[in-house]
Amino acid sequence: MSSSDIFIGETIGTAILILLGGGVCAAVTLKASKARNAGWLAITFGWGFAVLTAVYTSAPLSGAHLNPAVTLALAIKDGDWSNVPVYWAGQFLGAAMGATLVWVAYYGQFHAHLTDKEIVGGPGAQATATKAVEAQEKGAGPVLGVFSTGPEIRVPWQNLATEIVGTVVLVLAVLTQGLNDKGNGLGTLGALITSLVVVSIGLSLGGPTGYAINPARDLGPRIVHALLPLPNKGGSDWGYAWIPVVGPLIGGAIAAGIYNVAFA
Q: What is the pLDDT of residue 183?
A: 80
For 207, the 3-state DSSP assignment is coil
Q: Quote the pLDDT of residue 188.
A: 86
Mean pLDDT of 238-248: 97
pTM of the model: 0.94
Nearest residue to 49 (alpha-carbon basis) of 94, 19, 92: 19
Instruction: Write the secondary structure of 221-233 as one string of H (helix), E (strand) and C (coil).
Output: HHHHHHHCCCCCC
Mean pLDDT lowest for which of 21-25, 38-42, 126-130?
126-130
State how far the Cα of 1 lies from the Cα of 168, in Å rounded to an integer.
26
Kindly compute the dihedral angle of the four CA atoms of residues 72, 59, 175, 147, in this order, to the nearest 10 degrees: 60
Do residues 19 and 150 make contact, with C-beta atoms less than 8 angstroms apart? Answer: no
Residue 7 parent element (H or E): helix 3-29
DSSP string, 137-174: STTB-TTHHHHS---SS--HHHHHHHHHHHHHHHHHHI
Looking at residue 151, its pLDDT comes to 95
Q: How confident is the model at residue 187 (pLDDT cuts 50, 70, 90)?
A: confident
Q: Given a cut of 50, is residue 133 above it in pLDDT?
A: no
Instruction: Report the distance separating Cα 16 and Cα 102, nearest Å.
Output: 10
Distance CA 126, CA 21 (A): 33
Mean pLDDT of the region 107-131: 73
Cβ within 8 Å of residue 259, ≥6 positions away: 73, 77, 172, 175, 176
Q: Are the CB atoms for 74 and 26 separated by under 8 Å?
A: no
Is residue 217 within 8 A of residue 18, CB to CB? The reply is yes
Instruction: Report the percent of the chain where pLDDT is more than 90.
Output: 85
Q: What is the CA radius of gyration of the chain?
A: 18
* CB 198 within 8 Å of CB 148: no
Rounded to an integer, what distance in angstroms lies between the CA atom of residue 61 and that of residue 136? Answer: 42
In this prediction, residue 66 carries a pLDDT of 98
Residue 228 neighbours by CB under 8 Å, 6+ apart: 100, 103
| Nearest-5° Cα angle at 92, 180 to 85 | 65
Q: pLDDT tens, 81-113?
A: 999 999 999 999 999 999 999 999 999 999 999
Express as a percent the part of the chain with pLDDT over 70: 94
CA angle (49 as vertex; 216, 234 as ends), nearest 5: 45
Spatial contact of 203 and 212, defined as CB atoms under 8 Å apart: no
> For the chain, first and last CA: distance in Å?
24
pLDDT of residue 131 exceeding 70: no
